[in-house]
């Protein structure tokens, strides 16, 4: 079985079993995600999704708990069923502009429970064309990778890694209390140099992609699915 077979839903399933994650929220659009049915089959309770840019109903025919016709998800976040709610696992497959990606990752982290995980899709575009910051029909990963790296390097007390499968699945683990922050202090010191190199790129998306290509293992803390499966079994 090749690594290409393993997708974002398999990764969520591994995390749920290894860390006892039982509740799930998915943030996606009408043209991203596409694995919600598999998440429901994993038995998460509750298992909810927020879909924005809803130009059409999801093809899976499954319920949508929160929806927005455009990029604005403020009303969804204020919904009484979601406001103040936390989840053990939040999966993010955003509209892949920088603005939407950065917002969705930030909101996902806010809603994930301590000890839980955020999974971010499309963190490793396969080529430069796929990393175009503007939407196009086809194999579009956009600049979600940059929003993801900006977030994790901007919060050095967090633990994170990225699975080299299904266009790159970033895993952000939320610490449990001050003990975890102290534990991660040395890790934070080690990423300062890398953070400086990355921040010097600024908003130059071409330069960001060049840096990703030449330094993806260090930036993303890249692991393959086989290694992840062994570590989490």
Alpha helices in the chain (DSSP H): 8-19, 36-41, 74-78, 98-111, 144-154, 177-183, 185-190, 192-199, 205-220, 225-232
Strands 112-121 and 169-173: antiparallel
Q: What is the pTM of this model?
A: 0.91
Q: If we measure between CA atoms, which residue out of 119, 128, 102, 123 comes closest to residue 222? A: 123
| 67 CB neighbour count, 10 Å cutoff | 17
pLDDT band at 188 (very low <50, low <70, confident <90, very high): low
Q: Which two tokens stand for residue 223?
A: 């692991």
Question: In the β-sheet with 159-163, what is the strand arrangement from edge to edge?
Answer: 66-68, 47-52, 24-29, 87-93, 112-121, 169-173, 159-163, 222-223
The predicted structure's pLDDT at residue 184: 54
Please determine, for residue 180, whether its predicted confidence score (pLDDT) is greater than 60: no
- For 73, the domain range is 3-232
Question: Is residue 191 scored above 80 in pLDDT?
Answer: no
Among 41-45, 64-68, 205-209, 224-228, where is mean pLDDT lowest? 224-228
pLDDT per residue over 82-128, tens digit each?
999 999 999 999 999 999 999 999 999 999 999 999 999 999 999 99
CATH number of the domain enclosing 15: 3.40.50.150
**What is residue 91's predicted lDDT score, i.e. its pLDDT?**
97
Question: How many domains is the chain partitioned into structurally?
Answer: 1
Q: What is the mean pLDDT of residues 117-144?
A: 96
Percent of the chain's residues with pLDDT above 90 = 71
């Amino acid at each position: 079985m090749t690594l290409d077979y393993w997708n974002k839903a398999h990764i969520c399933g591994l995390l749920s079993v290894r860390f006892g994650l039982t509740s799930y929220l998915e943030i996606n659009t009408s043209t991203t995600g596409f694995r919600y049915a598999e998440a429901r089959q994993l038995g998460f309770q509750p298992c909810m999704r927020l879909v924005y840019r809803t130009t059409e109903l999801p093809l899976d025919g499954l319920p949508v708990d929160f929806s927005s016709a455009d990029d604005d998800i403020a009303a969804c976040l204020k919904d009484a069923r979601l406001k103040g709610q936390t989840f053990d696992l939040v999966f993010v497959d955003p509209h892949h502009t920088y603005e939407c990606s950065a917002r969705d990752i930030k909101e996902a982290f806010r809603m994930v429970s301590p000890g839980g995980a955020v999974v971010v899709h499309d963190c490793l575009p396969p080529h430069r064309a796929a990393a175009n910051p503007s939407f196009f029909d086809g194999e579009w990963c956009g600049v979600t990778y940059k929003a993801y790296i900006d977030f994790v390097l901007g919060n050095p007390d967090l633990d994170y890694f990225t699975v080299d499968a299904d266009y790159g699945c970033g895993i952000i683990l939320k610490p449990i209390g001050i003990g975890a922050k102290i534990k991660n202090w040395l890790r934070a010191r080690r990423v300062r140099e890398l953070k400086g190199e990355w921040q010097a790129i600024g908003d130059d998306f071409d330069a960001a992609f060049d840096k990703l290509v030449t330094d993806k293992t260090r930036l993303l803390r890249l692991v393959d699915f086989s290694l992840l499966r062994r570590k989490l079994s």
